[in-house]
Amino acid sequence: NIISNQKSAYEDLNIGAVAVAGVGIKLAENFYLDALLRYDYDFTNAENTNMNAHINDGPVIANGGTGSPSRANTLNSTAGLTIGVRYLLK
């Protein structure tokens, strides 16, 4: 009896921060090449710790047991590179 809707296993809101750094290189008048590095990190746990079972507990859920109470926090984090062109209208 696996739980298919896992919305309640996760918090509705996470608190985090974003850092972005980049450079714009002028290729021609009003035309630029941009490159950005981006990193974000959440400070709050993404999982609802009041939930008695989680999808990651696999067979424990199927057997009607409870989730593991000693799970580590789930802190979201992503990094990326954005490259683009920009044309300024004057």
Q: Distance between CA 44 and CA 22 in Å, rounded? A: 27
State if pTM tops 0.75: no
Pick from 46, 41, 60, 58: which is nearest to 9 by CA? 46
Q: 3-state DSSP call for residue 56?
A: helix
Per-residue pLDDT of the chain (90 residues; tens, 9 = 90+): 565 677 777 888 999 999 999 999 999 999 999 999 999 999 998 887 776 665 655 555 444 445 555 667 888 999 999 999 999 998
Predicted pLDDT at 50: 73
